Amino acid sequence: MTRLLIIGPPGSGKGTQAEHLARHFNVPAVSTGDIFRSNVSRETELGRQAAGYLDGGSFVPDHLTNALVRDRLQDTDVRSGFLLDGYPRTPPQVAELDSMLAEQGRVLDAVIELLAPDAELEQRMHRRAQEQGRSDDTEEVFRRRLELYHTETHEVVSAYAGRGLLVSVDGTGDPGEITAQAIAAVEKFLASFPPRT
Ligand code: ADP
């Protein structure tokens, strides 16, 4: 029964950490970025609507993103827990997630924030661009994603910090070490505030 969020800037290794943490906490990882990319490659209606936003490094409009998450959170596999990766990332999405969870009588247990300096994120993006060829890993698009993180998603982080849910983890260094530190930090946090429902 663990409901977690992971928030981090582009290039912070959020997706990789989400998978390891989800395995450890035995919950499904739900990545809005992955769901959008999969829809784009399968050329679904949602993919067609989302593609331009992904390629430009902008947010997919809240109404599309919220509907997608609302739908996904009704699946049976996330009934007893989940790790949401990449959602919410705007203040209206925070409000929407609050109401989805309230309707289901659920609460969040912890919000993991991955920290890394911008200069390192840019270096990693260059490396990843060569390895994975993601269409949004170009200098200009990456800069836009990073800027949106600082302007929009920063407020999301502050909101959860204000609720006492934030667990910040240093996202620099060896990925395995980061996972270990994140697990230790979340477990310590959960032990002091045991899962509520
Ligand atoms: P990153 O965090 O590195 O930008 P993601 O895979 O999390 O990578 O997201 C890739 C893209 O998917 C975003 O740039 C955006 O276009 C879209 N996206 C993912 N999650 C959201 C969200 N919660 N709200 C709006 N757009 C989103």
Within-domain flag for 180? yes
Q: Looking at residue 196, what is its pLDDT?
A: 62
Rounded distance, CA 57 to CA 146, Å?
Answer: 9
Q: Looking at residue 38, what is its pLDDT?
A: 96
Closest CA to 87 of 18, 146, 142: 18
Within the chain, which residues score under 50 in pLDDT? none
Q: CATH code at 80? A: 3.40.50.300
Within-domain flag for 197? no
Pocket residues for ligand 1 (CB within 6 Å)?
Answer: 10, 14, 32-33, 36, 53-54, 57, 59-60, 65, 86-89, 93, 136, 145
Is 145 designated active site? Answer: yes
Within-domain flag for 173? yes
Domains held by the chain: number:
1
pLDDT (tens digit per residue) in 145-192: 999 999 999 999 999 999 999 999 999 999 999 999 999 999 999 999
Using the mean position of ligand 1's atoms as its centre, give its distance from the Cα of residue 35 in Å: 10
Domain that residue 99 falls in: 2-191
Within-domain flag for 18? yes
Does 57 belong to an annotated binding site? no
Within-domain flag for 196? no
Within-domain flag for 56? yes
| SS3 state of residue 122 | helix
Within-domain flag for 171? yes
Q: Looking at residue 134, what is its pLDDT?
A: 86
